[in-house]
Structure 1
Amino acid sequence: MQSLVNLSLLLFFLCHLIPLLSFFQKDKPNSVFLFGIFLFPLVVWIQLAKPVRILLLIKILN
């Protein structure tokens, strides 16, 4: 269970690192597009984190 949480955190940071680096190198018209790329992994990560939170809650209650 802990490895699943660590893996999702690792994916989260990897997905955000590349757009963040390119955000500072690109000119302004692309910033909206890059913000979209930056936001997408966050939404995906939140969706992936929901079942993990539910499983952790069940584990705590038991």
Structure 2
Amino acid sequence: MTEIFAVRYAETLARATRIFGSREKAERWMVTPALGLEQRRPIEMLASAEDLEVLETFLGRIEYGVYH
């Protein structure tokens, strides 16, 4: 795991934990294909800056109730 990937993972996991209410739920979300991400798993989207931006937008939508 590269350092950049590790940092992105930690930051995304922390945000997802706040949104979903537990680390366990956040970890499960990170490895589950998401309809709003074209069935991609969030963890797969941490490798590129462009995908990370899409993922962050998606998390924001979940946080504000746009996606369930």
Establish whether TM, by shorter chain, passes 0.5: no
> Greater share of helix residues, 1 or 2?
1
Q: Which has the larger radius of gyration?
A: 1
Q: Flag the structure with more relative contact order, 1 or 2, with Cα contacts below 8 A and sequence separation at least 6.
A: 1
Q: Identify the TM-score tier after normalising by the shorter chain.
A: 0.3 to 0.5
